[in-house]
Structure 1
């Protein structure tokens, strides 16, 4: 099952389990977010198109992080006049994990767990700059048995 939602003036096609980067939304990491502006639903029963939204349809998501986007450079120049201006901008954006879709008599849930590790932390780990978080050892594996020692052959002379 999939849905087309509208947020931040843009439309996104989402499925349960997708990670989506959208315009900045209010909330802390781990907060549950619900989208009521569902423009279209698609599933086993066919496609349902809203006019303009599908009544009673919702998309549930979990906010993973709010971060700054890619840097955009703005450069202005007028030829032969000595006029040059450079500026930059980084738009705030939110990263969401889609956890469920409901509407048009169908329901789709995502069975996985939401991992709240930020992209900056993933990048730092990849470069070896952040400490690795190791899982606690559940039970130590049994130690391998040592091979029996070889017997020295006695030579008869």
Structure 2
């Protein structure tokens, strides 16, 4: 059984017990959160597709960790103009563990 859900404008495919890295979600470590924007659920050779979401379906997950990704360097450079600009960015993330995928038929 797997599900595809939407969080922060991105779609993720998950199975029960999986740990994934999402963009920063507010909450404390150990808190349980629910995702209700479920797009697809596949179980026992049956595919349920939402229009655009499946009503009554939800994913229950637990927050494991908050952190920052590796730094990305952004460099702008114009040759022969003596222009150089360097900038960096570290995206915040949250690791979550999928506890349960619920679907009420």
Q: TM-score range by the shorter chain?
A: over 0.9
Distance in 1 separating the partners of 2:102 and 2:39: 13
Q: Which structure dedicates a bigger proportion of its chain to helix?
A: 1
Q: Which ranges of structure 1 fall in alignment gaps of 5 or more residues?
A: 106-157
Aligned residues: CA RMSD: 0.9
- Mapping of 1:41-120 within 5 angstroms? 41-44=41-44, 46-105=46-105
Distance in 1 separating the partners of 2:71 and 2:52: 34
Q: What is the TM-score of this pair, normalised by structure 1?
A: 0.65
Count of matched residue pairs: 105
Moved over 2 A (4+): none
Alpha-carbon distance, 1:49 to partner: 0.4
Q: What is the TM-score of this pair, normalised by structure 2?
A: 0.96
Q: Which ranges of structure 2 fall in alignment gaps of 5 or more residues?
A: none
Say which structure, 1 or 2, has more relative contact order (CA 8 Å, 6+ apart): 2
Which has more radius of gyration?
1
Distance in 2 separating the partners of 1:45 and 1:104: 17
